[in-house]
Amino acid sequence: MAVLGIESSAHTFGAGVSSNGKILSNAKAMYKISDKGMIPSKLAEFHASNAKRVIEKAIADAGIGLSGIEAIGYTKGPGLGPCLRIGELSAISLASKLNVPVYPVNHAMAHIQITTGLSRMENPLALYVSGGNSQILSIISNPYKHYHVHGETLDIGIGNMLDNFARAAGMNPAWGSTVAKAAENGSYISMPYTVKGMDFTFTGILTYAIKALEKNKVEDVAFSLQETSFAMLSEAAERAMLLAKSRGIILCGGVAQSQRLQSIIAGMAASHKAKFFVAPNEYNADNGAMIAYVAEKMHRRKGVKFDRLGVDQKYRIDRVDASWL
């Protein structure tokens, strides 16, 4: 028996299947972002027209058939409201047809949990970096078991910052990997660096970098933007790692696909003889498998009262009771 997970918080509609903690399938359809960025209503239309096909593919790839699904999880948030709603409706309608329970999953927790599971580490510090989120977290048990946010962005997510810069620089596609490509032959120019304890901000450096395009080569600005913002994340994560006495750190979320960020965080961890782990890219990009993975854990815990269904655009991970983990 297996659990189906549905992800639809942003530009990806994903469906995956987990059975006994093993991922059996991970299907997805990804909306191609235009030069206007992500328009929620357009993304939701895309999700609605791809939902059935992606879910059917996930079930077929897993080789289980509809009768093999014993529960369904979906992303409750955080994310874009109209997009989340399509995932929720898909989950609830299929669950009522199959007469199986539905579980609301926190998107950030799903990224962290699947990466932690693959790392085989016990409660590592997590550096979770994506378009909409940038946080440093670990589980603490006081006053109840939950993910504690040691530090986070005080304005926008680092992925959003890189995408915005890519758009301003006329890059296509306008996202982080294009900035990384442009940065390959760049030289360093000084940029504003903002770390406040274990928090950080990205709008100042974004404004500065866009202005710097007027007088500098795009590769130099791209390189300096990456180096400076990644160094900010590393400094904040290092402080959190030492304060939390973590012996390992995991990197997860869409921006975890950056090889440069991976090498900076791996180097920082190595300097403290701490372990470092990053999952394969298919789990850092948004995906249904991670939702299935967490929903299966929820389903196996009997007698726990989980959050109610619905969607919540600002569903913070530190609001989720994690006593069932």
Residue ranges that bind Fe ion, judged by CB under 5 A: 130, 286
Q: Which CB atom, from 110 or from 221, has the smaller least distance to Fe ion? A: 110
Locate 299 and state its tokens: 């389903």
Q: Which CB atom, from 77 or from 151, has the smaller least distance to Fe ion? A: 77
Write down the least CB distance from residue 225 to Fe ion, Å: 21
Write down the least CB distance from residue 221 to Fe ion, Å: 26
Rounded distance between C-alpha atoms, residue 47 and residue 64, angstroms: 23
Rounded distance between C-alpha atoms, residue 123 and residue 283, angstroms: 18
User: Which has the closest alpha carbon to 255: 165, 154, 180?
Assistant: 180
How wide is the angle at C-alpha 230 spanned by C-alphas 219 and 78, nearest 5°?
Answer: 110
Q: Which CB atom, from 107 or from 299, has the smaller least distance to Fe ion? A: 107
Write down the least CB distance from residue 83 to Fe ion, Å: 12
Q: Which CB atom, from 11 or from 238, has the smaller least distance to Fe ion? A: 11
Q: Which CB atom, from 7 or from 199, has the smaller least distance to Fe ion? A: 7
- Angle between helix 176-183 and helix 218-243 axes, rounded to 10 deg: 110
In which element (H, E) is residue 30 found?
A: strand 22-30
Write down the least CB distance from residue 107 to Fe ion, Å: 6
H helices present in the chain, as ranges: 40-62, 81-98, 107-119, 158-168, 176-183, 203-212, 218-243, 259-271, 281-284, 288-300
Write down the least CB distance from residue 66 to Fe ion, Å: 27
Rounded distance between C-alpha atoms, residue 44 and residue 2, angstroms: 27
